[in-house]
Amino acid sequence: MNCSICEKRKAARYCPAKGEKICAVCCGTEREVTISCPPECAYLVAAHRYEDEHQRALPADTPLLDERVPQEILHTHQQLMAALAFQTAKFASHEASTADPDVIATLAALAATYKTLQSGLLYEKIPDVPVQRDLYLALSQFLDEIKRKAAETGQSAALKDVAIFQVIVFLYRMGLLRSNGRPRSRRFIEFLRGQFPQSEELKREAPRIIVP
């Protein structure tokens, strides 16, 4: 039986996303590109293990790399970071089409918005891609609610826009390092999901067959 993708080479690997066997070459080249691979796929797990051992270099012109983020941000705003991570993972759990590039682009846009707030002006950088726009709005509304509650309890001084900006930039950089740059990768999303193993809201759906 030939591979259902290239229709040339022998089908030797079972692809849980397609529900059939494909060739090793197509498995390697189409993985997380045209195929939405489930995280339990053995070939995907092996590929991610290899990627962990060979970290990719980020281009020098990658946005937000020159922004200064204090090392203590992990401790001073741990709850905010965890809350943002949870909201992102929650959104991705309900919107199955969300991939790492969507999350990373959304965080970059949200960071750009909060950077303008530091000058006293608000200029929103809302993404055009629907799933990114929805995630942006969800996170933006969540942050507005947190800021409102902080103001009501007299804690707004401890939750300044610059701190929120730095937390978003930190998560953005984490996403760049955790993902592999493939358009359908969900490595970063799975990492965020793994930070809240007891949450019922982040339970992964049963594996689905997705035909590219």
The stretch 80-102 carries a mean pLDDT of: 94
Local confidence band at 11 (pLDDT 50, 70, 90 cut-offs): very high
8 A C-beta contact, residue 104 and residue 88: no
Q: What ranges do the domains of the chain cover?
A: 1-60, 62-202
The predicted-structure confidence for 118-152, as pLDDT tens digits, reads as follows 777 778 889 999 999 999 999 999 999 988 888 88
Least confident of 35-44, 71-80, 137-146, 166-175: 71-80
8 A C-beta contact, residue 17 and residue 210: yes
The stretch 61-67 carries a mean pLDDT of: 88
Phi-psi region of 75 (alpha: psi -120 to 50; beta: other; left: phi over 0): alpha
3-class secondary structure, 15 = strand
Q: At what angle do helices 161-178 and 187-194 cross, to 10 degrees?
A: 120
The predicted-structure confidence for 28-39, as pLDDT tens digits, reads as follows 999 999 999 999
Give the pTM: 0.88
3-class secondary structure, 82 = helix
Cα separation, 157 vs 43, in Å, equals 49
Rounded mean pLDDT of the chain? Answer: 89
